[in-house]
């Protein structure tokens, strides 16, 4: 981080809290949650929402999101939401948020305030109280007790965070809220194609280094067939070389095109299990307690807080043999 960016962000975060405890808030507070991050991150903050709802029956919860994760937030009936511009246009946030300036009782910051698109939010809103994980900045109120976070599943970290600020204990688990219309449509497609008892396979992630190659994907699909497992290969709309994938993978699978994360959610909900690289697909599978194989690079293997947590799960390296990846103890 350049010295100029650091000074700018420190300036935005250099604000105090009007009150020091959640118990000083009204019985029906206006709570904002900053969720300007990835899809999987939103699934992980469900304990934050649950703790807030448990504390105040008449609470108003507003989630701040971007186009990246609005598809999963818009179906969460527990919250209202405000769609902000792309994080690279953080300087336009004031136009969207000035209406709420000095009207927010509690702002919750689940992520680090080391980026302009996050730290600008509290600077604009001027909430009475701000809480969060990032204890390095002035605007985050210090919790009553230490937040336990070492080696824990990420939703449990957020459960611990809320307890440290005086909220009631809640379970630390992912929650996914599917779109009912999407679910009906996916069920119809599966029935029309006579697809059932299937394993979802996803080789795609947001960064290239976390994606599988076509050849490695073919090995996994072949291994599923050898073991009598029906494979559904999900193909996102954003993949440009779809024809190359289709031509090189062969015909030993069902391909389903997905136009949004909601399509993937519904396909996973109806499945018998999931094999996926490190992306939100793993977290969706965990939320439904589906048998899950998560694929990671060597560098990511020690990141325990985002691994699959289903009752049946297996963690493998992306370059492991297909027979090691298709773990029959998980799927049979």
> 231-244: per-residue pLDDT in tens?
999 999 999 999 99
pLDDT at 1 over 60: no
- Segment 236-255 mean pLDDT: 93
* Residue 304 confidence class, pLDDT cut points 50, 70, 90: low
pLDDT at 179 (0 to 100): 94
Rounded to the nearest integer, the mean pLDDT of the chain is 94
Rounded to two decimals, the pTM is: 0.93
Model pLDDT, residue 208: 85
Rg (CA), the chain: 21
pLDDT of residue 206: 83
Within 8 A by CB and 6+ apart from 77, the residues are 177
Residue 332 pLDDT? 82
Whether residue 275 contacts residue 220, with contact meaning beta carbons closer than 8 Å, is answered with yes
Residue with tokens 């100029």: 4
**In the predicted model, is pLDDT for residue 5 greater than 80?**
no
In this predicted model, what pLDDT tens digit does every residue of 152-168 receive, in sequence order?
889 999 999 999 999 99
pLDDT digits (tens, 9 = 90+) for 274-300: 999 999 999 999 999 999 999 998 777
Per-residue pLDDT, 148 = 78
pLDDT at residue 151, as a whole number: 76
Mean pLDDT within 82-109: 96
Of the chain, the end-to-end C-alpha distance in Å amounts to 48
Does residue 96 surpass a pLDDT of 70? yes
């Amino acid at each position: 981080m350049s010295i100029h960016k650091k000074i700018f962000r420190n300036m935005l975060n250099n604000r105090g809290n009007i009150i020091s405890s959640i118990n000083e808030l009204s019985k029906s507070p206006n709570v904002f949650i900053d969720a300007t991050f990835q899809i999987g991150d939103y699934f992980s903050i469900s304990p934050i929402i649950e703790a807030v709802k448990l504390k105040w029956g008449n609470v108003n919860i507003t989630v701040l999101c971007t186009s990246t994760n609005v598809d999963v937030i818009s179906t969460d009936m527990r919250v209202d939401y405000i769609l902000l511009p792309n994080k690279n246009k953080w300087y336009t946030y004031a136009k969207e948020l000035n209406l709420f300036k000095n009207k927010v009782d509690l702002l919750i910051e689940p992520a680090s305030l080391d980026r302009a698109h996050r730290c600008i939010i509290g600077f604009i809103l001027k909430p009475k109280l701000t809480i969060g994980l990032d204890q390095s900045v002035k605007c985050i109120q210090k919790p009553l007790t230490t937040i336990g976070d070492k080696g824990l599943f990420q939703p449990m970290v957020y459960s611990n965070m809320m307890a440290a600020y005086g909220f009631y204990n809640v379970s630390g688990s992912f929650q996914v809220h599917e779109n009912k219309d999407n679910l009906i449509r996916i069920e119809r497609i599966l029935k029309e194609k006579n697809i059932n008892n299937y394993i979802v396979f996803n080789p795609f992630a947001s960064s290239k280094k976390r994606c599988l190659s076509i050849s490695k994907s073919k090995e996994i699909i072949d291994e599923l067939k050898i073991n009598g497992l029906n494979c559904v290969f999900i193909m996102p709309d954003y993949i440009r070389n779809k024809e190359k994938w289709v031509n090189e993978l062969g015909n030993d699978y069902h391909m389903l095109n997905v136009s949004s994360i909601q399509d993937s959610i519904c396909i996973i909900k109806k499945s018998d299990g999931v094999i996926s690289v490190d992306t939100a697909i793993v977290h969706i599978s965990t939320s439904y307690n589906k048998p899950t194989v998560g694929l990671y690079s060597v560098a990511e293997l020690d990141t325990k807080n985002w691994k699959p947590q289903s009752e049946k799960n297996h963690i493998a390296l992306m370059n492991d043999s297909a027979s090691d990846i298709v773990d029959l103890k998980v799927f049979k």
